[in-house]
Structure 1
């Protein structure tokens, strides 16, 4: 039997794929979940793919059953799956709001609820992927930002509930990261000025940089970290600014 097993959602590309690869390199057995069929390619050589839409109400049960069937246990759940495409509130119809909240928040609650009974107790780890947009205001992203703020509060709530049984719950809050979801926006001068130029490090993050913090929070080394929302954003939340020549 393997020593540690992780489920990583949204694992076909971006932060999820980088996280799955890093955890696998540490000897952790991986279940990679994504609705994108390319998750099968990503999983080749590193884990077991599950092509699934996480908004399906049985998704958490399916992931748990897959991990238990192949590896016999579950130690880590990384809730990374999410979608973008948010707009201002007045420009958001019901379908958009429903899709953003269901995918980025509600499905995370359901999947987590259904995996928890199978997590190692003690020693289990849950790492959620929130967002800097869920920690500070950024006009024009209402549905997405509210869902990610919900992930941050969900992390705090669940940390208090599960710490007594030895399951630690934390989150990362990435800033602008070069993933397929945002890559096209990096070509927009206005977006770059507000999101990249105003970041103290002056650049976008890479998926591997987010994955490194997720891997730490999922590791035994993070044994006294509980309920933390860790910004991984080049300093954006701490000290947004624009260079003098941009003001």
Structure 2
């Protein structure tokens, strides 16, 4: 990958499956070199092989500061980071019992998986962002705007995703003078991902589709298309925004 010249470098966390994999594939199609990050080495390797082209899989735990420092050093060897897509996240972790200790543990796990991963990776790579022209894209969720629902109604998931918004606004102010944009993309119901897991059912799917104005579920490719624009040189005047991608299930605000 390092030998491929003339290509912008993109980093996609959670890039081995679902939305992250679709984003990685779209960015490769747009001419980027892409690094995909995630915990599962085999999943990343398979995604890289199936996508083809200049894709480098780097496994690691993005909740672990030491692991993130190691990954950032590896990425820095490849050149300036033109695009960073913080997509890593996980489903809600229900408390093991009704105790406050179990509740605190569940919240910490969800905050680590959905918030801290983005904060640690972005902070580690911030010195290596292309200036000007860098693009930061944070994948949030419609749950941040409307609260959780269905099998993922626990407040920790929605709270973690909402926290990404305030954090991204601060980054947009900080990095704007350097010509770096920061935007949040908040998808609604997207089928063919692992996020819903055992909570998925035909009835759940039908209710989610009925909640939209366009009468269909989103796809990972829908998200990838939106990211492709936010990551492009053409999006240089768009920053500090939360963009809903939800088929009208949550109206603009």
| TM-score of the two chains, using structure 2 as the length reference | 0.87
Would you say how many aligned residue pairs link Structure 1 and Structure 2? 236
Could you say which residue in structure 1 is the equivalent of 2:162? 149
Q: Structure 1 unaligned runs (5+)?
A: 240-247
- Preserved contact between residue 5 and residue 67 of structure 1 (Cα < 8 Å): no
Cα distance in structure 2, aligned partners of 1:215 and 1:62: 27
Q: How does 1:164-175 map to 2 (within 5 A)?
A: 164-175=177-188
Q: How does 1:182-197 map to 2 (within 5 A)?
A: 182=196, 184-187=198-201, 189=203, 191-192=204-205, 194-197=207-210
- Preserved contact between residue 148 and residue 157 of structure 2 (Cα < 8 Å): no
Tell me the secondary structure at the aligned position of residue 69 of structure 2.
helix
Alignment partner for residue 181 of structure 1, among 181, 195, 217? Answer: 195
Q: Structure 2 unaligned runs (5+)?
A: none
Tell me the secondary structure at the aligned position of residue 76 of structure 2.
helix
Could you say which residue in structure 1 is the equivalent of 2:127? 117
Alignment partner for residue 79 of structure 1, among 80, 86, 104? Answer: 86
RMSD: 1.9
Cα distance in structure 2, aligned partners of 1:118 and 1:17: 23
Could you say which residue in structure 2 is the equivalent of 1:233? 246
Cα distance in structure 1, aligned partners of 2:44 and 2:241: 29
Could you say which residue in structure 2 is the equivalent of 1:127? 137
Could you say which residue in structure 2 is the equivalent of 1:20? 24
Are residues 63 and 75 of structure 1, via their aligned partners in 2, closer, same or farther at CA, if it must alter by over 3 Å?
Answer: farther
Shift of 1:183: 5.2
- Preserved contact between residue 2 and residue 29 of structure 1 (Cα < 8 Å): no
- Preserved contact between residue 13 and residue 85 of structure 2 (Cα < 8 Å): yes
Shift of 1:39: 0.6
| TM-score of the two chains, using structure 1 as the length reference | 0.89
